[in-house]
């Protein structure tokens, strides 16, 4: 298990993606799997900055990577505003150009790139987003 | 992320190198806007050196496409889309909003 704490700033997205990529490579994911995990981690962290903290530099993102059997488990913890995961509407993916909504894409990508997505909110421990991806084979 | 723009007779070319995320996407948006401010709306985005693009980049391309396509005055087309970005764009239904060309020459020749 490894844990790192990042200032919740868009500048740190590079470091967060690098951090999870190392864990994904160590776990044996192929290039497509590593990219999917990086994209999911980027979207999760961007959502924390935009929606939990509402702006940059308002708090921290704690990222933990571990293995659970054949699953790589990524846990993102923040101390911003919590939300109901199921309350976020699915984006419109088939409409014409002007009908497409700008939001909701990040969570949609996370749900499709990862095998499991859980979200829980605690008073002291903050908001915890858990993402799992199975390694093939 | 690095951006290089080139002006051609019938269109403008934006070459994007590196990673487009929530931090860098605004710079891509500015590059598109600068071209639009010149009254030009036919744009090729060359993504051959793109390493990563998050949904922040997709949103920037969507906003740009809306502006460029208004009044039928132009459009943004994509060239040399890397496989991983193509997969993510497919997943979000974005590949139907852009013409995609295998190389820069055919993309520029489209205009």
pLDDT tens readout for residues A31-87: 999 999 999 999 999 999 999 999 999 999 999 999 999 999 999 999 999 987 777
Cβ-Cβ contacts under 8 Å between A and B: the total is 66
- A18: part of which helix (H) or strand (E)? helix A13-27
**Shortest distance, CA B110 to any CA of chain A (angstroms):** 20
The pair phi, psi for residue A123, each rounded to 5°, is -60, -60
Work out the number of other CB atoms within 10 angstroms of the CB of residue A94: 8
* Residue contact A14–B21, C-beta within 8 A: yes
Q: A86-123: per-residue pLDDT in tens? A: 777 788 888 888 888 777 899 999 999 999 999 999 98
- Tens-place pLDDT, residues B52-82: 999 999 999 999 999 999 999 999 999 999 9
The pLDDT value recorded for residue A137 is: 57
CA distances from A98 to A137, B54, B58, B61, B72 (A): 43, 21, 14, 13, 13
Tokens of A47: 């959502």
Give me the CATH topology for the region B2-109. Transcription Regulator spoIIAA (3.30.750)
Per CB-CB distance under 8 Å, the chain A contacts of B52 are 17, 35, 38-39, 42
CA distances from B18 to A33, B24, B47, B66 (A): 19, 10, 9, 24
Residue B87's contacts (CB-CB under 8 Å, 6 or more residues apart) are: A32
Is residue A74 helix, strand or coil?
strand
Q: Which of A124-128, B1-5, B77-81 is the least confident region?
A: A124-128
Q: What is the mean pLDDT of chain B?
A: 97
**Residues of B whose CB is below 8 A from A113:** 91
Phi and psi of A109, rounded to 5°?
-60, -45
Average pLDDT over residues A122-128: 92
- For residue A119 the two structure tokens come to 């979200």
Per-domain residue ranges of chain B: 2-109
How many domains, in total, are found in chain A?
1
* The pLDDT of residue B105: 96
Cβ contacts of A10 on chain B, cutoff 8 Å:
21-23
Range of the domain at A115: 2-134
Task: Answer whether residue B49 shows pLDDT above 80.
Answer: yes
Report yes or no on whether pTM surpasses 0.90: yes
SS3 of A132, please? strand
Is B60 part of the contact surface with chain A (CB cutoff 8 Å)? no
What local confidence, expressed as pLDDT, does residue A110 receive? 97
Q: Interface pTM (ipTM) of the complex?
A: 0.95
A109 touches chain B (CB under 8 A): yes
Tell whether B26 lies on the interface with A, counting CB pairs under 8 A.
no
CATH number at residue A82: 3.30.565.10
Longest Cα pair distance anywhere in chain B, in angstroms? 34
A9 Cβ contact partners less than 8 Å away, ≥ 6 residues apart: A49, A56, A57
């Amino acid at each position: 298990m490894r844990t790192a704490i990042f200032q919740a700033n868009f500048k740190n997205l590079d470091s967060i993606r690098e951090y999870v990529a190392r864990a994904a490579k160590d776990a044996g994911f192929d290039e497509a799997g590593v990219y999917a995990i990086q994209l999911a981690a980027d979207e999760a962290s961007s959502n924390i900055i935009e929606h939990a903290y509402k702006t940059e530099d308002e708090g921290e993102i704690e990222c933990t990577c571990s293995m659970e059997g054949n699953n790589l488990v990524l846990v993102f913890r923040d101390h911003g505003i919590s939300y109901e995961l199921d309350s976020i509407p699915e984006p419109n993916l088939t409409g014409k150009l002007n009908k497409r909504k700008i939001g909701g894409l990040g969570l949609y990508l996370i749900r499709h790139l990862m095998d499991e997505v859980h979200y829980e909110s605690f008073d002291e421990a903050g908001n915890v987003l858990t993402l799992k991806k199975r390694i093939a084979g | 992320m690095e951006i290089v723009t080139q002006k051609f007779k019938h269109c403008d070319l934006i070459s994007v190198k590196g990673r487009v995320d929530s931090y860098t996407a605004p710079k891509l948006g500015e590059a598109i806007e600068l071209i639009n401010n010149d009254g030009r709306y036919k744009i090729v985005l060359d993504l051959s050196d793109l390493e990563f693009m998050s949904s922040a980049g997709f949103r920037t391309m969507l906003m740009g496409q809306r502006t460029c396509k208004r009044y039928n005055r132009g459009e943004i087309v994509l060239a040399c889309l890397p496989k991983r970005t193509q997969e993510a764009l497919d997943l979000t239904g974005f590949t139907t909003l852009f013409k995609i060309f295998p190389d820069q020459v055919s993309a520029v020749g489209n205009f």
